[in-house]
A and B are shown apart, each in its own frame.
Chain A
Amino acid sequence: MRLQLSGKATCNSHGQGSSYFLGWQEYEKNPFDQTRNPQGIIQMGLAENQLSFDLLESWLSENQDIAGFKRNGESIFRELALFQDYHGLPEFKKALVQFMEEIRGNKVSFDPNKIVLTAGATSANETLIFCLAEAGDAILIPTPYYPGFDRDLKWRTGAEIVPIHCTSSNGFKITACALQQAYQEARNRNLKVKGVLVTNPSNPLGTTMTRAELDLLMDFIIEKQIHLVSDEIYSGTVFSSPNYTSIMEVLLKYEKAEVWDRVHVVYSLSKDLGLPGFRVGAIYSNNDSIVAAATKMSSFGLVSSQTQYFLSALLSDKKFTKNYISENKKRLKKRHALLVSGLQNAGISCLKSNAGLFSWVDMRHLLSSNTFEAEIELWEKIVYDVKLNISPGLSCHCSEPGWFRVCFANMTEETLEIAIRRIKALVESASRGRDKVISSQRSSKNNSRKKSFSKWVFRLPFHDREAGER
């Protein structure tokens, strides 16, 4: 008799069974390198911020002692090596909340006692859902959303995600109608709605939520008596107007109201500081019970004390943080403009965006039909022929085919230019009509590959080759 594993081990909720991550596999087989492999596939599916490392490196070279476990000339190696208190290093929590305040223009203040440290936002999101929901419950999430949520919020918790459908008709903004429809859908599926989870700024849209949307959300969670989680992992990447409004700012007018302890924020240093490897995430909540439960749960994913100390020094350096925040934004803005204008020249428009490490690109006009099959067909072409790995909207649960997330901050400027040139070439050949011939040729030659796609096209695929490739 075969030795068995648990249901969680054998199910597909980790999402990696889907043939979607073909794009990743192809990239791995043939990765672009400016000098050694200039014909390779350019990775544009990875939301990493590689634009401001020089600022970090320069700080590092002036603060070697900190990395060397010294505080004021004294070695604190032992102290750090032994420090495993799940309340976190006080000096780090203080520095972290100050950084979060600075990002929000000091319009709100955070209490270090209400923050829980976790190994990345991946862990923070899962921990919050463990606290709020279980099997039979649902979390409402606006589409399109980060594919990783399917694993992070559902896999081990048993909770379900019900989408709040957003469309291009209004720039993918959340509407009262969409919220009510999602709530109803959950009810129809016999699920108890426990909360709404939004990402603001949005991944994959790259937009900040409007005040109107935030107020709408507050009204909704007050009416339904549910929770709101605002994942603000990209809050430091807002590079142009409109200015960023965090849910914390909106919450100011609800202080001491009932809803005040049903709103929770998730943060991380993986995107703003470009340090995904260091695994630094946080949950912020006014709810004592949640902070208490999440703190204990953080035992399963604490931040290395070595890393806490190092970053407490970095983030306490106000000169550094002020300069970093502003310089980082400038560079992101420039990159964003480069991509958007380059795509424009190729006749491709993007959703107007002001944040994030990616653009939400409209390729509907390049689809052979207004279907997800056509989207995947186009995506295949882009991966295999144009040699760019970008993320199809389907993987983000977008309700309209033809949209793609394209990252711009994880490569050099030269590489981005090359990518843009390749896209231009694709569009030019498409407009010359050759593409339609090529695509019909390919579809007859590659029926098997198409077959392997058709069954998952209607599933919910996402790629998860590495942790957190948001």
Chain B
Amino acid sequence: MAIEIEAAPSVQLSRVADSETHGENLAYFAGWKAYDEDPYNEASNPSGVIQMGLAENQVSFDLLEECLEKHSEASTWGKGAPGFRENALFQDYHGLLTFRKAIVSFMEEIRCGGAKFDPERVVLTAGATAANELLTFILADPGDALLVPTPYYPGFDRDLRWRTGVKIVPIVCDSSNNFQITTEALEAAYELAESMNIRVRGVLITNPSNPLGVTISRSVLEDILDFATRKNIHLVSDEIYSGSVFSSSEFVSVAEVLEAREYRASERVHIVYSLSKDLGLPGFRVGTIYSYNDKVVTTARRMSSFTLISSQTQHLLACMLSDKKFAKNYIEINRTRLRKRYERIIDGLRSAGIECLKGNAGLFCWMNLSPLLEKPTRESELDLWRTMLQEVKLNISPGSSCHCSEPGWFRVCFANMSEHTLEVALERIHKYMEQRRT
């Protein structure tokens, strides 16, 4: 067995343990390391590396903290802690009903009532990372493939493939039409898989897109759904950024498309959501799978045993999110603040001579540095990335780590820092671009 040759003496691990599919040797993670070694700090390390590769939402914590003050029983189980023991014992993989209802209500609020969700179809998982892997285990067998539009979140290489043994076949999108998914691209991806004798089990889209920061239009969603129906495969829509669409009217969830079709053929559709981005709570590990397929719901629920959400955290968030006034207010204000950040960075980049893809969502913008490349190659892109990291001291994510088919694009996060830090970053970019011109 090949594994024995490369394994450390006497310690034979599984293929999964030894493989590199956990994906941590990519530039995406290498940038993190550089940041960790020399992190920017306004006071103590003003010339350090500014982290712009982390899609975190830090703009609305004050709202959460205010809510927490108002609902102290959320974190302390109330005076005398009457609910403590029941909560500590609660490990039912159906999840706390109050929490499921609160999540459903939050998801409906984000979609401005454009879709209704049933708490009985919500399966809870420890983060969207777990939700995506779980769905892959359920929808595909080892050796099968999921089609994923490029550019995509680098973590998918691990989440969808590592332990599942499932492959990703890219749906190649490019700047000629603003990276929109086309039926031609879908068909091409499917044919490519077929030509390699790989069985396609589903399409996985992220809407709004990471790293593009753009929502998928209703007509494209319809096309994707039609394609999945034609091929009799599944459609997973990761809507983790749905609450970060700058203007509420611009987001169309696949749930709305299904509702408009009266849920015909909806048993192939599954939605992933999480509170990591919209609420800025990645540490609490809150993800969900919402499926219109009963067997998927049942199976996912059983499988969620491996990745349950702490009941302490379910209780906390059930209390907070059940405050509908808070939820509505939060969504609105959060949106506004993100939009303001986005406008600031776009403006700042533009005045430095840099253009971005027109975005309308997310915690990042998709920046076009292709005019700066020596050659239109991945190597040139990585050289530029290294320059950005080592000279300009900004950690941004190169498009190649997102499997972008065109070199020169970078994902730049703007919501994980203070306004001041963002200005410092823009200043540095400005300076760099000026230096280049001279």
B299 proximity list for chain A (CB < 8 A): 5, 9, 14
Check B295–A119 contact: CB distance below 8 A. Answer: no
Interface: B432 (CB within 8 A): no
Check A289–B13 contact: CB distance below 8 A. Answer: yes
Check A67–B17 contact: CB distance below 8 A. Answer: no
Given the contacts A3-B232, A68-B75, A466 and B92 also touching, CB distance less than 8 Å: yes
Interface: A82 (CB within 8 A): yes
Given the contacts A69-B68, A120-B308, A302-B127, A53 and B84 also touching, CB distance less than 8 Å: yes
B residues neighboring A (CB under 8 Å): 8-18, 22, 24, 56, 58, 61, 64-65, 68, 72, 75-77, 80-81, 84-85, 87-93, 126-127, 129-130, 133, 137-141, 144, 158-159, 163, 201, 232-234, 267-268, 276, 280-285, 293, 295-296, 299, 302-313, 316
- For the complex, give the distance between the alpha carbons of A156 and B75 in Å: 35
How far in angstroms is the closest Cβ of chain A from B401? 17
Given the contacts A126-B306, A307-B310, A68 and B88 also touching, CB distance less than 8 Å: no
- For the complex, give the distance between the alpha carbons of A311 and B141 in Å: 38
B311 proximity list for chain A (CB < 8 A): 277-279
Check A289–B89 contact: CB distance below 8 A. Answer: no
- If A56-B85, A68-B72, A467-B304 are given as contacts, then 16 extra A-B residue pairs at C-beta distance below 8 Å, sorted by A number, are A53-B88, A67-B76, A68-B75, A82-B58, A82-B280, A84-B276, A131-B16, A132-B17, A133-B14, A151-B302, A276-B91, A277-B91, A289-B8, A290-B17, A303-B310, A306-B283
Interface: A102 (CB within 8 A): no
Which of the residues B81, B92, B129 comes within 8 Å of A300, measured between beta carbons? B129
Which of the residues A3, A6, A84, A137 comes within 8 Å of B138, measured between beta carbons? A6
Q: In this complex, which of B75, B144, B201 has the most chain A Cβ atoms within 10 angstroms of its Cβ?
A: B75
Interface: A208 (CB within 8 A): no
How far in angstroms is the closest Cβ of chain A from B267? 6
Q: In this complex, which of B80, B130, B234 has the most chain A Cβ atoms within 10 angstroms of its Cβ?
A: B130
- For the complex, give the distance between the alpha carbons of A131 and B163 in Å: 10
Interface: A305 (CB within 8 A): yes
Closest to A63 in B: B76
Given the contacts A68-B76, A275-B88, A1 and B15 also touching, CB distance less than 8 Å: no
B64 proximity list for chain A (CB < 8 A): 77, 81
Check A277–B8 contact: CB distance below 8 A. Answer: no
B303 proximity list for chain A (CB < 8 A): 14, 155-156
Which of the residues B75, B80, B138, B312 comes within 8 Å of A9, measured between beta carbons? B138
Check B139–A6 contact: CB distance below 8 A. Answer: yes
Check B310–A279 contact: CB distance below 8 A. Answer: yes
Interface: A464 (CB within 8 A): yes
Write out, one digit per residue, whether chain A residues 9-53 have a CB within 8 A of any chain B CB (1) or not (0): 100001010000000000000000000000000000000101001
A selection of 19 A-B contacts at a CB cut-off of 8 Å is A1-B232, A8-B137, A48-B89, A53-B85, A61-B80, A78-B58, A81-B283, A119-B308, A122-B305, A261-B11, A274-B88, A276-B91, A277-B91, A279-B311, A289-B11, A301-B306, A303-B285, A304-B283, A467-B91
B90 proximity list for chain A (CB < 8 A): 277
B133 proximity list for chain A (CB < 8 A): 300
Check B88–A262 contact: CB distance below 8 A. Answer: no
Interface: A400 (CB within 8 A): no
- For the complex, give the distance between the alpha carbons of A94 and B232 in Å: 51
Check B139–A60 contact: CB distance below 8 A. Answer: no
Check B163–A156 contact: CB distance below 8 A. Answer: yes
Number of A-B contacts (CB under 8 A): 236
Mark out the residues of chain A between 148 and 188 whose CB falls within 8 Å of any chain B CB in the assembled complex.
151-152, 155-156
A307 proximity list for chain B (CB < 8 A): 310, 312-313
B309 proximity list for chain A (CB < 8 A): 279, 304
How far in angstroms is the closest Cβ of chain A from B417? 12
Closest to B299 in A: A9
Check A60–B13 contact: CB distance below 8 A. Answer: no
How far in angstroms is the closest Cβ of chain A from B224? 16
Check B58–A296 contact: CB distance below 8 A. Answer: no
Check A122–B285 contact: CB distance below 8 A. Answer: no
A80 proximity list for chain B (CB < 8 A): 283
Closest to B7 in A: A289
B12 proximity list for chain A (CB < 8 A): 194
- For the complex, give the distance between the alpha carbons of A291 and B87 in Å: 31
A residues neighboring B (CB under 8 Å): 1, 3-9, 14, 16, 48, 50, 53, 56-57, 60-61, 64, 67-69, 75, 77-78, 80-84, 119-120, 122-123, 126, 130-134, 137, 151-152, 155-156, 194, 225, 258, 261-262, 270, 274-279, 287, 289-290, 293, 296-297, 299-307, 310, 464, 466-468
Check A467–B11 contact: CB distance below 8 A. Answer: no
Which of the residues B77, B85, B138 comes within 8 Å of A8, measured between beta carbons? B138
Closest to A79 in B: B283
Check B65–A77 contact: CB distance below 8 A. Answer: yes
How far in angstroms is the closest Cβ of chain B from A310? 7
Check A5–B295 contact: CB distance below 8 A. Answer: yes
How far in angstroms is the closest Cβ of chain B from A92? 12
Check A81–B81 contact: CB distance below 8 A. Answer: no
- For the complex, give the distance between the alpha carbons of A275 and B302 in Å: 20
Closest to A85 in B: B283
- For the complex, give the distance between the alpha carbons of A466 and B301 in Å: 10
- For the complex, give the distance between the alpha carbons of A50 and B89 in Å: 8
Check A56–B24 contact: CB distance below 8 A. Answer: no
Check B84–A57 contact: CB distance below 8 A. Answer: yes
How far in angstroms is the closest Cβ of chain A from B353? 33
Check A306–B313 contact: CB distance below 8 A. Answer: yes
Which of the residues A279, A290, A310 comes within 8 Å of B308, measured between beta carbons? A279
A123 proximity list for chain B (CB < 8 A): 306-307
Given the contacts A6-B137, A77-B68, A82-B56, A304 and B15 also touching, CB distance less than 8 Å: no
- For the complex, give the distance between the alpha carbons of A215 and B56 in Å: 50
A152 proximity list for chain B (CB < 8 A): 305-306
A67 proximity list for chain B (CB < 8 A): 75-77
Closest to B279 in A: A81
A293 proximity list for chain B (CB < 8 A): 13, 16-18, 22
